[in-house]
Amino acid sequence: MEIADSGFIFSDDKQKIDSASVHHYLSTQSYWAQNVPLEVVKKSIENSLCFGIYKDTKQVGFARWITDKATFAYLADVYVEEIYRGQGLSKKLMSLMLFHKDLQGLRRYMLATVDAHGLYAQFGFKSIDHPDRLMAIVIKDPYKAEN
């Protein structure tokens, strides 16, 4: 899938993904993956359904689904470079991602966010009705540099 819109290209072609650019954003600018190693980013791209936003050939946004393509998908690593925000790129990306052919008929879509509840609510996401039914193992600062 590749769509051109308002001077940007939206694509699910993994060959287009600039893993160094994604790594730079995630490891230095995201709140959720500070210091993530490049090899971890590459492996996550390899094993996920990924989407990129491009201005000319420059990667300016990214997101990925961790999914079995049958029942469940978890949205991760969503970003748009700061200078390109406010142009509706996140909304366009979410629309394309949710209606991707490999994600139809799933039982559950999930994500975690600190600051983008309003964006995701526009696409049907809501807080968990029974958070007491969910559990997680959370490794605090998994990529923290050794001193």
What is the domain extent for residue 87? 2-133
pLDDT of residue 138: 86
Give the separation between CA 77 and CA 34, rounded to whole angstroms. 12
What is the total count of domains within the chain?
A: 1
Per-chain mean pLDDT for the chain:
93
Domain membership of residue 138 (yes or no) is no
Is there a contact between 16 and 52 (Cβ–Cβ < 8 Å)? yes
Domain membership of residue 142 (yes or no) is no
Question: What pTM was computed for the model?
Answer: 0.91
Give the separation between CA 117 and CA 105, rounded to whole angstroms. 23
Domain membership of residue 144 (yes or no) is no
Residue type, position 3, single letter: I
Give the separation between CA 20 and CA 30, rounded to whole angstroms. 14
CB within 8 Å of 99: residues ≥ 6 apart = none
pLDDT, one tens digit per residue, over 32-69 is: 999 999 999 999 999 999 999 999 989 999 999 999 99
The mean per-residue pLDDT over the stretch 117-124 comes to 93
The CATH number covering residue 64 comes to 3.40.630.30
The mean per-residue pLDDT over the stretch 22-32 comes to 95
Output the CA torsion sign for 25, 5, 65, 48: negative
Domain membership of residue 141 (yes or no) is no
The beta strands (E) that lie in 45-137 are given as 49-55, 58-67, 72-80, 108-111
Domain membership of residue 96 (yes or no) is yes
pLDDT, one tens digit per residue, over 69-100 is: 999 999 999 999 999 999 999 999 999 999 99
Alpha helix positions (H), 1-147? 19-28, 38-46, 89-98, 117-121
Domain membership of residue 27 (yes or no) is yes
pLDDT of residue 46: 98
Domain membership of residue 19 (yes or no) is yes
The mean per-residue pLDDT over the stretch 105-112 comes to 95
